[in-house]
Structure formats: C-alpha cells, structure tokens
Amino acid sequence: MRSGIFYKRNPTEKFPKATTVFLAIYFFSIPFDMITNFGYGTIGRYAGLLVTLSYGFALLVKRKPLKIDKATCSFAAWVFIGGSSYFWSLNEQNTFNSFIWLINTFVLYILISSMEFTYDDFDFLKKAIMCGGIVSVVLALRNMDFAESRLTLMIADKSTDANNLAASWLMPITFCVDYTIQHFKNKQFLRGVMYTSFVAVVLFGMLLTGSRTGLVGFALGVLVPLLFQSRIRIVYKFAIVVMLLILSLNLVVYLPENIANRIQISAAVQDQGSSRLTIWKNAIDQFFNAPLFGYGLNTFGDMMYINYGFFKGAHNLYISLLCELGLVGITMFLVFIAIIIKKALQLKDWTILSSLLAMLIVSFFLGTFAKKFFWSSIFVSNLTIVEKFHEGRVIT
C-alpha cells in the first residue's frame, strides 16, 4: 500500500531496514567528518563504504537494475572529463587521487539513487541529519572560548574550519525549519515549539562561527524557497519571518564583539571577502590560458603557486572547476545540477530544493568539491526524486 509520494512501510516493521540505518549514520556523521580520522579515513569514509557495500548487496539480491537517467549520464560524463584531465594536469598525483575520490562518490550516488525508500525511512534519514547538526552544535558550544575565537568543532587536537562547519549545518536547519512550519500548521504547538528551539540552537551556532557564507546560505537558500511554498498561507509566512527576525535579534545580543563585527556587511567589504576577490580575479586571468579543458582536476592551488608564488584555494567551487576542467568540465557539472533542480522544481519539493539551493549558494564562497555536506544534499535530493519517480510521476 502506498502513502503520499513514498512507499509505506509494512506495519509489522518496527524499525528501519539495516541499509537505511547505515545511510542515516553516514548523514549523521557529516559535521564530524573533517575531524574524525581513524586509521585510513574519517568516520564518514567508513560509513560511506558501509552504505556502498550494503546497498550493492541489496540490489544484487533483489536483482534490481541500477537507475540510469539523464542526471546519472551527465555525472558520468563529468567524472570522465575529470579523469581525462590527468593527461594534462599540473599535478598528476593530486588529479589521480581526486579522480578516485570522484569515482567513489559516483558509485555511492548511483547506488543510493537506485534504492527505494518508504516515507518512514525518509523521515528517519531527515531526523538523523537534524540530530547530527544539533549534537555537533552542542559539542562545539561546550568547548568554545567566547572571548577569543570563532566557534569551531574540536575533537582531540583537531578542529573544523568555521565556514565549513556552518555550511554543514545548513541541511539540518532546513529540516528543522520545515518541521517547525508543518507542526504549527497542523496545530501541534508543543512539537512546533520544540523544533523552534532546535532552529534557535543551530542558528545561534551558525552566528557564533562568524561565517558570513553560512548566513547568506541560510537566508537565501533556506528561507526564500520555504516562504514561496504555495501550500503555506500568507499569515504563516509572515509569522515565520517575524519569528526568525525576533529570534535572530535576540541571539545577536549574545555574540562576542569580534564575531558581531565580523558578520557586518562593512567588514566583508573592507576585507574583500577575506581576500576572495583578489584570488578570483587572478584565477579568471589564468582561466583564459586554458579555457576549454583547464589545468587538471584539483590543481587550482598549483596553478596559483606557479603563477603568483602562493598556494591558495579558490574559495569558490565554480571558479575552481572553471580553471581545473575548463568550460567543458564545468558545463557537464552544471548540466548535472540543472537536471536535479529541474526535477525538484517540477515536483515542488521545496524543503529538499531549499537545502540543495543553500549548498549551491555557499559554493560561491567555499571550495565544496570534496565536502560530504555538499554531496549529501545531492544524495538527499535524489532520494526524493526516486520516490516520486516510483509513484508514476516520471520527470524527463
């Protein structure tokens, strides 16, 4: 029996399937991935390997074919271009390592895309993402020195970058906002208040990171699409804006002075976005020397060092891909993203679209190519598309 846009789990099943639990662990671990190295990789790497093996085995046992659609084909073409760039790369070792990582990501993407999830499974995954965000915020707050530094998550002697940490909280706060809206709309006020408190916790953590990138992603990627939902009455939209405005103003009062000054627009103008504008200008100048195929996957730093004497990341996914893979490479990547966005738009899945849009926005200011929080937003977007596909609402 079906319910909504998902297959409904059998009432006799009390717990999610093992494969769903493994994927939930993978999503939960996203904020911790950059600082949890065990042996040969991070906790996210081991969780991803577990998901790959379990999903591959499940598809084999059920004799289900892999899902091959336009998005998969464009992703495969992009992977091929990235691997081919080895032959003209400025740093062959970096390109080879990144190509292997990209293949692993592609395999994980196609396996997850080929699986079927019930509504309860999908709800379980969203709550795992929220829990990962909330737990990481609480742990980060416990160790913060409010007088001296921006909020980071620290385990042992390793800490996260504040901007990447804020970006990893965008998907959790998106789902918190959506659950808040739905519970208040359904007059479940206690649950609505609970999810509002979750929004407050994660938003306060984002403010304490001092990440202007994270706040821009939240404002444009999370709030705007949610407010454009036609199924929400205008009075609720107005209430959401007022509530978040009041919440933000109250939270800003508790920010340390150095962080409060940093998130001001004047500070961003004064430091040119932490020198990003200079890096981008230099990168565009170098792009014209290899416009079609670029300098090779993951060679942006080498390009900057050879031409300007310093090793710097692009702090921009699109400029990085433009320089590394040229017009051909970035075109294939944008085609892949456009197909996923088109499906989400046609199916009017605003929550998932919001989280994906937030990641695409922060990618203008961060190098998100190898970040699991970026790829997880794509995995989650395709989970929804798969469910709607199996309900007969096929988008081509």
Q: What is the mean pLDDT of residues 157-185?
A: 86
Give the pLDDT of residue 8.
Answer: 46
170 with 358: CB under 8 angstroms? yes
The pLDDT of residue 155 is above 90 = no
Residue 127 has pLDDT above 70, yes or no: yes
In terms of pLDDT, which residue wins out, 392 or 83?
83
For the chain, the maximum distance between any two Cα atoms, rounded to a whole number of angstroms, is: 64
Tokens of 339: 């197909």
Q: Is the pLDDT of residue 343 over 80?
A: no
- Indicate the range of 122-131, 327-336, 337-346 predicted with least confidence: 337-346
**Confidence tier at 65 by pLDDT (50, 70, 90):** confident
Taking the C-alpha atoms of residue 171 and residue 16, their distance in angstroms, rounded to an integer, is 21
Name the more confident of 386 and 39. 39
From residue 115, alpha-carbon distances to 7, 45, 105 in Å are: 12, 20, 16
Domain extent listing, the chain = 2-390
Structure tokens at 8: 């409904």
**Is 60 exceeded by the pLDDT of residue 171?**
yes
pLDDT of residue 5: 39
Phi then psi dihedrals of residue 41, to 5 deg? 180, -175
- pLDDT at position 334 is 95
| The pLDDT of residue 312 | 81
Question: What kind and span of H or E run contains 41?
Answer: strand 41-42
Give dist(CA 374, CA 370) in Å, integer.
Answer: 8
Mean pLDDT, rounded, for 380-393:
53
Sign of the C-alpha dihedral computed for residues 292, 293, 298 and 302 taken in this order = negative
pLDDT for 330 equals: 95
At 4 the pLDDT is 33
Check residues 389 and 327 and name the one with the higher pLDDT. 327
What is the model's pLDDT at position 228?
A: 67
**pLDDT of residue 310 exceeding 90:** no
Encode pLDDT of 26-49 as tens digits. 999 898 877 766 555 667 677 788
Tokens of 83: 């691997």
**pLDDT at 340 exceeding the cut of 90:** no
pLDDT single digits (tens) 227-259: 666 566 777 667 777 777 777 666 666 676 767
Q: What is the pLDDT at residue 99?
A: 94
Res 76 pLDDT > 90 = yes
How confident is the model over 91-98, as a mean pLDDT? 93
Give residue-wise pLDDT tens across range 4-16.
Answer: 334 444 444 556 7
pLDDT range class, residue 263, cuts 50, 70, 90: low
pLDDT of the residue at 120: 80
- Average pLDDT of the chain is 81
Of 176, 291, 313, 292, nearest to 240 by C-alpha is 176
Which of the residue ranges 60-69, 155-164, 243-252, 256-265 has the most confident prediction, judged by mean pLDDT?
Answer: 60-69
